[in-house]
Structure 1
Amino acid sequence: MIRHKLVRIHSSVEEARGKQIANDGTLRWLSELIDAEYQGNYLLDCIKHDLDEGDEDDDAKVVSSLSRFNPAKRARMSVCNILSRHHDVTIEEIDRVAERLQGVCDGLREFIMLLGTCQPVRRPLATNIFRHGQMFGRHVEKERIISFLLHDDDDNTRLAVLPVVGDTGVGKTTLVQHACDDARVSSHFQVIMLLEFSYTSAAAAPARSETTFVLRPKHVIGDAGGVDVNVNNPLDLVELDFGSKRFLLVFEDVDTRKKQVLEDLLHARTGGSSSKQGSKIIVTTNNRLVATMGTVKPIMLKALPFPEYWFFFRAHVFSGRDLEESPGLVAVGKAMAKKLDGSFFGAKIVGGLLRNNPNPGFWRRVSGSSGIEDMSALGDGVNYVMDLSQSLLPGNVRMCQMIVSKDRFSQTELAGLHGASAAQITSWAQGPYGFARVLLCESLLPFYNLYYIADCTAGLVNGYSECEEVPCVSVVQFNTTHGVSISSLAS
Structure 2
Amino acid sequence: MESFLSAILGELISRSMNFIINKWSKPLTLDMEESIQGALLQAQVIIEEAMGRHITNQAMLLQLGMLRDAMHRGYYTLDAFRYQPHYGEGANDPSGRRFLTLSKAPCVKDLYFTSPTVQFQEQLREALDKLRSMIVDMNELVMFLMSYPRLYRQPYSMHILLCNCMFGRQMEAQLVISFLLHTKPHSSEELEVLPVVGPLGVGKSTLIAHVCKYERVRDYLSEILWLHDCDFTDDELTFRQGGAMKRQILLSNLKKGKRLLVVIELYGNLCEDGWNRFYRASRRSFLSGSKIIVTSCSDKIVKFGTTPALTLKHLSPEAYWYFFKTLTFGSTDPEMHPRFAQLVMEIARLQIRSINSAYTTSNLLRDNFSIHFWCKVLSFLRGFIQKHICKFGVHPFELLNKNKPVQLGRMASLSEDFMICHEYRCSPQEGVPEIRMQDVMYGSNKKQGKFEVLGWRSQIPPYYSYVYVCEIRERKITGAKRKHCVEDGATSS
Please report the TM-score for the alignment, with normalisation by the length of structure 2. 0.69
Q: CA deviation at 1:443?
A: 3.3
1:175-217 deviation digits (Å, cap 9, x = unpaired): 111111222212221101111113868xxxxxxxx86555579
Tell me which of 204, 207, 222 is aligned to 1:175: 207
Distance in 1 between residues matched to 2:380 and 2:463, nearest whole Å: 35
| Amino acid corresponding to residue 44 of structure 2 in structure 1 | H
Whether the 8 Å CA contact 1:180–1:186 is kept in 2: the answer is yes
**What aligned pairs does 1:268-279 form with structure 2 within 5 A after superposition?**
268-270=281-283, 272-273=284-285, 275=287, 277-279=288-290
| Amino acid corresponding to residue 425 of structure 1 in structure 2 | K
Whether the 8 Å CA contact 1:196–1:216 is kept in 2: the answer is no
Instruction: State the secondary structure of the residue aligned to 1:244.
Output: coil
Distance in 2 between residues matched to 1:259 and 1:117, nearest whole Å: 45
Distance in 2 between residues matched to 1:461 and 1:325, nearest whole Å: 45
Aligned to 1:245: 258
Seq. identity, %: 25
Whether the 8 Å CA contact 1:52–1:324 is kept in 2: the answer is no
Instruction: State the secondary structure of the residue aligned to 1:164.
Output: strand
Aligned to 1:449: 464
Q: Against the structure 1 CA distance between its residues 212 and 297, is the aligned structure 2 distance closer, same or farther, given a 3 Å change threshold?
A: closer
Q: Against the structure 1 CA distance between its residues 142 and 324, is the aligned structure 2 distance closer, same or farther, given a 3 Å change threshold?
A: same
Distance in 1 between residues matched to 2:395 and 2:241, nearest whole Å: 33
Whether the 8 Å CA contact 1:22–1:143 is kept in 2: the answer is yes
More strand by share: 1
Instruction: State the secondary structure of the residue aligned to 1:441.
Output: strand
Q: CA deviation at 1:238?
A: 8.3
Aligned to 2:406: 387
More helix by share: 2
1:359-379 deviation digits (Å, cap 9, x = unpaired): 313412212323775237756
1:425 aligns with 2:459: no
Q: Against the structure 1 CA distance between its residues 381 and 243, is the aligned structure 2 distance closer, same or farther, given a 3 Å change threshold?
A: farther
Q: Against the structure 1 CA distance between its residues 330 and 229, is the aligned structure 2 distance closer, same or farther, given a 3 Å change threshold?
A: same
1:283 aligns with 2:290: no
**What aligned pairs does 1:11-160 form with structure 2 within 5 A after superposition?**
11-50=45-84, 90-123=120-153, 125=155, 128-129=159-160, 133-154=164-185, 156-160=188-192
**What aligned pairs does 1:208-247 form with structure 2 within 5 A after superposition?**
214-215=238-239, 228-230=245-247, 241-247=254-260
Whether the 8 Å CA contact 1:190–1:247 is kept in 2: the answer is yes
Distance in 1 between residues matched to 2:313 and 2:46, nearest whole Å: 24
Q: CA deviation at 1:249?
A: 1.0
Aligned to 1:185: 217
Q: CA deviation at 1:260?
A: 4.5
Q: CA deviation at 1:94?
A: 2.1
Q: Against the structure 1 CA distance between its residues 391 and 171, is the aligned structure 2 distance closer, same or farther, given a 3 Å change threshold?
A: farther
Instruction: State the secondary structure of the residue aligned to 1:248.
Output: strand
Distance in 2 between residues matched to 1:97 and 1:109, nearest whole Å: 19
Q: Against the structure 1 CA distance between its residues 241 and 392, is the aligned structure 2 distance closer, same or farther, given a 3 Å change threshold?
A: farther
| Amino acid corresponding to residue 164 of structure 1 in structure 2 | V
Distance in 2 between residues matched to 1:356 and 1:397, nearest whole Å: 25
1:290-335 deviation digits (Å, cap 9, x = unpaired): 2232222222211111111012222344445553565344334323
Distance in 1 between residues matched to 2:198 and 2:147, nearest whole Å: 32
Structure 1 unaligned blocks of 5 or more: 56-81, 202-209, 220-226, 463-491
| Amino acid corresponding to residue 229 of structure 1 in structure 2 | K
1:69-112 deviation digits (Å, cap 9, x = unpaired): xxxxxxxxxxxxx986569x734422321221122112111212
1:38-61 deviation digits (Å, cap 9, x = unpaired): 122222222322497789xxxxxx
| Amino acid corresponding to residue 464 of structure 2 in structure 1 | N
1:262 aligns with 2:275: yes
Q: Against the structure 1 CA distance between its residues 260 and 15, is the aligned structure 2 distance closer, same or farther, given a 3 Å change threshold?
A: farther
Q: Against the structure 1 CA distance between its residues 169 and 257, is the aligned structure 2 distance closer, same or farther, given a 3 Å change threshold?
A: same
Distance in 1 between residues matched to 2:459 and 2:214, nearest whole Å: 15
Aligned to 1:468: none
Whether the 8 Å CA contact 1:195–1:216 is kept in 2: the answer is no
Q: Against the structure 1 CA distance between its residues 379 and 414, is the aligned structure 2 distance closer, same or farther, given a 3 Å change threshold?
A: closer
| Amino acid corresponding to residue 403 of structure 2 in structure 1 | N
Whether the 8 Å CA contact 1:332–1:364 is kept in 2: the answer is no
| Amino acid corresponding to residue 307 of structure 1 in structure 2 | E
Distance in 1 between residues matched to 2:331 and 2:358, nearest whole Å: 16
Distance in 2 between residues matched to 1:102 and 1:333, nearest whole Å: 28
Aligned to 2:25: none
Whether the 8 Å CA contact 1:165–1:298 is kept in 2: the answer is yes
Q: Against the structure 1 CA distance between its residues 54 and 273, is the aligned structure 2 distance closer, same or farther, given a 3 Å change threshold?
A: farther
Aligned to 2:350: 339
> If you compute each CA radius of gyration, which structure gives the higher value, 1 or 2?
2
Instruction: State the secondary structure of the residue aligned to 2:83.
Output: helix
Whether the 8 Å CA contact 1:439–1:454 is kept in 2: the answer is no
Is 340-349 or 296-305 further displaced after alignment? 340-349
Instruction: State the secondary structure of the residue aligned to 2:59.
Output: helix
**What aligned pairs does 1:301-312 form with structure 2 within 5 A after superposition?**
301-312=312-323
Instruction: State the secondary structure of the residue aligned to 2:143.
Output: helix
Distance in 1 between residues matched to 2:269 and 2:130, nearest whole Å: 41
Q: Against the structure 1 CA distance between its residues 419 and 171, is the aligned structure 2 distance closer, same or farther, given a 3 Å change threshold?
A: closer
Is 165-174 or 345-354 further displaced after alignment? 345-354
Distance in 2 between residues matched to 1:228 and 1:84, nearest whole Å: 60
Distance in 2 between residues matched to 1:102 and 1:86, nearest whole Å: 22
* Number of aligned residue pairs: 405
Is 141-150 or 120-129 further displaced after alignment? 120-129
| Amino acid corresponding to residue 187 of structure 1 in structure 2 | D
Q: Against the structure 1 CA distance between its residues 185 and 12, is the aligned structure 2 distance closer, same or farther, given a 3 Å change threshold?
A: same
1:134-191 deviation digits (Å, cap 9, x = unpaired): 3222112111111221222225412111222212222111111111122221222110
Instruction: State the secondary structure of the residue aligned to 2:406.
Output: helix
Q: Against the structure 1 CA distance between its residues 241 and 164, is the aligned structure 2 distance closer, same or farther, given a 3 Å change threshold?
A: same
**What aligned pairs does 1:311-326 form with structure 2 within 5 A after superposition?**
311-320=322-331, 323-324=334-335, 326=337
Distance in 2 between residues matched to 1:34 and 1:218, nearest whole Å: 44
Q: Against the structure 1 CA distance between its residues 296 and 409, is the aligned structure 2 distance closer, same or farther, given a 3 Å change threshold?
A: closer
Q: Against the structure 1 CA distance between its residues 30 and 376, is the aligned structure 2 distance closer, same or farther, given a 3 Å change threshold?
A: farther
Whether the 8 Å CA contact 1:191–1:245 is kept in 2: the answer is yes
Please report the TM-score for the alignment, with normalisation by the length of structure 1. 0.69
Is 257-266 or 348-357 further displaced after alignment? 348-357
- Give the root-mean-square deviation of aligned CA atoms: 4.0
Is 242-251 or 329-338 further displaced after alignment? 329-338
